[in-house]
Amino acid sequence: MVRAPYFDKDGVKKGAWSAEEDDKLRSYIQKYGLWNWRELPKLAGLQRCGKSCRLRWMNYLKPDVKLGRYTKEEDDLIIKLHEKYGRKWSKIAAELPGRTDNEIKNHWHTHLKKHSRSQETESHGDLITQNSSSSSSESEAKTSSICDVPFHMILESSPLSPEEASPCDFSPTNISSSDSLIGTNYSAEGGGDHSLGSILEMCQELTSTGDFWTEPFVADNMYDESHQLSVEGGFLLSPYYDDDLDLFHQVMNELPNLH
DNA sequence: AAGGTAGCCAACCGCGTCTGG
DNA sequence: ACCAGACGCGGTTGGCTACCT
């Protein structure tokens, strides 16, 4: 998995860290704290350079570093922050407690980048479809004016068959901890297009106030609360300001009635 | 079963920024 | 104001693992 340990021409050890080296670094920092990365390896009895020690500590040994799988909420947040900050991984990491810039960067390149790309591709494809269509309905024209991304495009971003779609995609359980609605390609049992239309109308109303925003997404791994794979894409709806949270929750509570 | 390939991630490298003298 | 050393950041690499042919 990692580079085999070796010594460079200056006698500095490189490559994978051993458990013994980890212990030395950890116990030294716990005892004396962080004061000089350059001097630290000598005093800690390590044949590493300061940079290597810093990296190992920051990305792996630091007590508050959270290792392991990313949650759906973390993935969503990274995507949002990436849109906001670009490749400023340290800024993104600052808003994700326990995650390091290096880890987020790796996670982005291996898991999230392709989702972002596929989202762009799908959006572009749908836009072409929309533009080439000479029979756009009045409602479609209306939705297109509400936000940058037309609603019909958002909801068709990753079509699911009725068999694949969850009948409770819009239930309140889909309200994330960040107070966003994850809307998915919707096909309610006994609801169908009527329910979809109701939700579209609701989204139109919310976004037309200027207090809410939406964005489409396509994701291979959408998880419900029990971390079971549930859906494959859709759109995200969130209030801009905390002041609008009450209204947002009120609307969310009414969602089941839309079925 | 064996070889090839892609995915993944820890660690390295180079450069820009910060800080203290 | 300038300089040198330390630090932090983002891009890249190397090698292990899993999957495919």
Tell me, in Å, how far CA of A1 is from C1' of B2?
Answer: 21
Asked if A14 CB < 7 A from strand C, the reply is no
| Cα separations in angstroms, A72 against A141, A222, A230, A234 | 33, 7, 12, 14
Asked if A102 CB < 7 A from strand C, the reply is yes
Digit-coded pLDDT (tens) for A140-178: 323 222 222 222 222 222 222 223 333 223 322 233 333
pTM for this one?
A: 0.52
Digit-coded pLDDT (tens) for A41-59: 888 888 898 889 988 998 8
pLDDT at A78 over 70: yes
Q: Where are any strands of DSSP class E within chain A?
A: 6-7, 13-14, 181-184, 212-223, 229-239
Asked if A37 CB < 7 A from strand C, the reply is yes
The dihedral built from the CA positions of residue A189, A195, A197 and A199, taken in this order, carries a sign that is negative
Q: Which residue is the nearest neighbor of C14, CA to C1'?
A: A3
Asked if A113 CB < 7 A from strand C, the reply is no
Tell me, in Å, how far CA of A93 is from C1' of C10?
Answer: 13
Tell me, in Å, how far CA of A3 is from C1' of C13?
Answer: 10
Asked if A91 CB < 7 A from strand C, the reply is yes
Instruction: Tell me, rounded to whole angstroms, the distance of Cα A175 from its chain centroid.
Output: 15
Nearest of A43, A41, A42 to residue A51 by alpha carbon: A41
Which stretches within A71-137 are classed as H helix?
A: 72-85, 89-94, 101-107, 113-132
Domains of chain A (ranges; CATH) run: 6-61 (1.10.10.60), 72-116 (1.10.10.60)
Asked if A3 CB < 7 A from strand C, the reply is yes
Tell me, in Å, how far CA of A167 is from C1' of B3?
Answer: 46
Digit-coded pLDDT (tens) for A94-153: 888 888 888 888 888 877 766 655 555 555 444 333 333 333 333 332 322 222 222 222
Is A214 in a helix, a strand, or coil?
strand
Digit-coded pLDDT (tens) for A188-215: 222 333 333 444 455 455 545 444 444 3
Tell me, in Å, how far CA of A236 is from C1' of C8?
Answer: 34
Name every residue whose Cβ is closer than 8 Å to that of residue A22 and which is 6 or more positions away in sequence: A56, A60, A61
Tell me, in Å, how far CA of A69 is from C1' of B6?
Answer: 21
